[in-house]
A = this chain, B = another copy of it.
Amino acid sequence: MTTTQTTPVTARPTNATEIGVFTFADVSPEATGVHADQRLPEIVEEIELADQVGLDVFGIGEHHRPDFAAPSPAILLAAGASRTSNIRLTSSVTVLSSDDPLRVMEQFAMLDSLSGGRAEIMAGRGAFTETFGLFGYDINDYDDLFIEKLELLLALRSGRPVTWSGRHRAPLVNVVVHPAPVQQLLPIWLGVGGSPESFVRAGRLGLPLALGIVGGAPARFAPALDAYRRVLDQSGHQPQPVAVSVHGFVAKTSQAAADTYYPADAELMNRVARERGFATTSRPEFDRKILANGPYIVGSPGEVAERILLLHETLGHQRTLFQLAVGSLGHLDVMKAIELLGTEVAPIVRAELGGRTDAHATQTLANEALDQRRAAPS
């Protein structure tokens, strides 16, 4: 009765890969005339469709900029929660360094209750740095902030009373998060860009790892993932799942996929490049990125399925996340891509690697644990 209560319920590795989509809630009014009040309800429809076609996960990334409309991922995920029944709902990422772990945990605990135990957090440091100034943090504390806040978030997730003090937040005395999440341990993934120490950190902490690939050959991350798995093991943790997120798109034909995704993706990439003084992108560069050893997965359903299987062979990951809705990409194209991912891509991948994976096992375990906790005298 008490043994399963301490069993970690974070999704465990299998030989399969879940398939999901995520977005930063891009709005590019100057390019498309689409504002947040149109785009956010569209995203709720996309979450709903992703659930209907059986995709495993939907993610929303946090930003505080004019070109992304989701400063609070949990708000948008909650709107999706009340219109879905199976899909898991995750931040991708929560910029934890500049947020309060207590508020974050409260919000995702509410999302977990609203969704019947489908909430997850992907904790990251953020690819943009605007949040440091906005919320009064020093960019020089980049690492220290993240480590301290992650530690507190994990403590608060435990459900046990937390007494804590640190440098970047007021101390806590015997604090328990209300409401309690449905899942015994709400999954917290460590969002990782590419810095080697992040892989080691995730391994030491025993956390599932979410790798965001934006450039280069995915295969180059294989050694770092091996290191992560080694550190997990050496640190006495059970194996944990790896998620890989990519820029990607699917349409009926390769040509249609590339012709639809390129201009939208370029609109975003060039906006960011101009901001940072980087070189802008081009169609030939894009065409190289979508090659079999490239960072983007763009093509027909058969090609995309093939690429997921190849990626899985290379990285042995358990979850593939597609950033479909980027830059100026239109809602209807996103909807068509979600439908194809669910109805044509996923069946091929599942036939090859096995059925749906951890989400359900997680759910079942979590519910068992909850039932036991409730049955037990408090």
Count residues of chain A with CB under 8 A from any CB of chain B: 58
Number of copies: 2
The stretch of A10-18, A104-112, A208-216, A227-235 that contacts the partner chain: A104-112
Q: Does A354 contact B (CB under 8 A)?
A: no
- Does A1 lie at the interface of the complex (its beta carbon under 8 Å from any beta carbon of B)? no
* B75 lies within 8 A of A114 (CB): yes
Please provide the chain A residues from 13 to 55 with a CB less than 8 Å away from any CB of chain B in the complex: 27, 29, 35-37, 39-41, 44
Does residue A288 face the partner (Cβ distance < 8 Å to B)? no
Least CB distance from A198 to B in Å reads 26
Residues on B with beta carbons closer than 8 Å to the beta carbon of A82: 41, 44, 79-80, 82-83
Q: Quick one: closest B residue to A45, CB to CB? A: B82
A175 to B133, CA, bound (A): 10
A305 CB within 8 Å of chain B: no
**Are the C-beta atoms of A114 and B176 separated by less than 8 Å?**
no
Which residues of A (34-93) have their CB < 8 Å from a CB of B? Answer: 35-37, 39-41, 44, 63-66, 68-72, 74-76, 78-83
Which of A's residues lie within 8 Å of B, judged by CB? 27, 29, 35-37, 39-41, 44, 63-66, 68-72, 74-76, 78-83, 100, 102-103, 106-107, 109-114, 116-117, 133-137, 169-173, 175-176, 178-180, 182, 370, 374
